[in-house]
Amino acid sequence: MESKPRGPVLISTVVVVNVIWWMVMIAAIGLGATHLGRCNVQPNIPIYLIVLGATSILSLSVTYSRGNYQDGAGCILTSACMTFLHLFTFVWFIAGTSWVYSVYPPDYSPGTDRYCHQITYQFAFIVTTILWVTTTLMFICGCCFALVICCKTIGARRYFARSSFYGATSDVNEPTAGDV
């Protein structure tokens, strides 16, 4: 399967976004591991950051390695791994969303029951919010794209319905060539 060449702007944009995402996920792993016991109000928030970061990095790595396998068992295995990782990451993201948003706003004073380390909580909150905004925008753009494709298909169907068998347009009242 050949892909059409991509422009340098698209390639550089993808590279920059991927590098930023790698850095954010490495920071998520570091923050979660460093502050593992410092969120009394919801102890799953640091774990959420560690697992989200690890699965995202693993998912990106498997996605990059998929390009090495064009067909065969390697392609099937990497596709299955990618699918599993993406589904797991999405389900984990939903769980993390409930953990992060359910305790908003926590208390940033150590020693209280509603305490959560400020940087860890705010990082989890911001990453979760950015992921929801990105997911929503991608969904809206996908729906708009599908709507445009449907409209173009309907318009093309109407155009070709007016055409004769040979592609020439004619008025409906005129007899077609070959009618006797």
180 belongs to a structural domain: no
State pTM to two decimals: 0.75
122 belongs to a structural domain: yes
Q: Average pLDDT for residues 49-72, to the nearest whole number?
A: 86
Q: Decide if pLDDT at 146 tops 90.
A: yes
Tokens for 66? 């998929």
98 belongs to a structural domain: yes
**Mean pLDDT in the chain?**
85
If we measure between CA atoms, which residue out of 92, 82, 22 comes closest to residue 51?
92
Q: Decide if pLDDT at 163 tops 60.
A: no
Q: Decide if pLDDT at 20 tops 60.
A: yes
Which segment of 31-40, 62-71, 109-118 scores lowest on mean pLDDT? 62-71
Phi-psi region of 115 (alpha: psi -120 to 50; beta: other; left: phi over 0): beta
Domain with 134, as residue range(s), is 8-162
Tally of structural domains, the chain: 1
Q: Average pLDDT for residues 168-176, to the nearest whole number?
A: 56
Q: Output the pLDDT for position 145.
A: 94
77 belongs to a structural domain: yes
178 belongs to a structural domain: no
115 belongs to a structural domain: yes
Q: Decide if pLDDT at 143 tops 60.
A: yes
174 belongs to a structural domain: no
Q: Output the pLDDT for position 73.
A: 81
C-beta atoms surrounding 62 within 10 Å: 19
26 belongs to a structural domain: yes
Q: Output the pLDDT for position 111.
A: 84
Tokens for 104? 């908003």
Instruction: Give the pLDDT band of residue 64 (cuts 50, 70, 90).
Output: confident
Q: Decide if pLDDT at 2 tops 70.
A: no
Instruction: Give the pLDDT band of residue 91 (cuts 50, 70, 90).
Output: very high
Q: Decide if pLDDT at 100 tops 60.
A: yes
Q: Average pLDDT for residues 41-55, to the nearest whole number?
A: 94
**4 DSSP assignment:** P
As a dihedral over the C-alpha atoms of residue 125, residue 127, residue 129, residue 134, rounded to 10 degrees, the angle is 180
Question: Rounded to whole angstroms, how far apart are CA atoms 114 and 98?
Answer: 16
Instruction: Give the pLDDT band of residue 79 (cuts 50, 70, 90).
Output: confident
The radius of gyration computed from the CA coordinates of the chain, to the nearest angstrom, equals 26
Question: Rounded to whole angstroms, how far apart are CA atoms 131 and 137?
Answer: 10
Q: Output the pLDDT for position 98.
A: 95
Q: Which single residue is written with the structure tokens 């599993």? A: 84
C-beta atoms surrounding 128 within 10 Å: 20
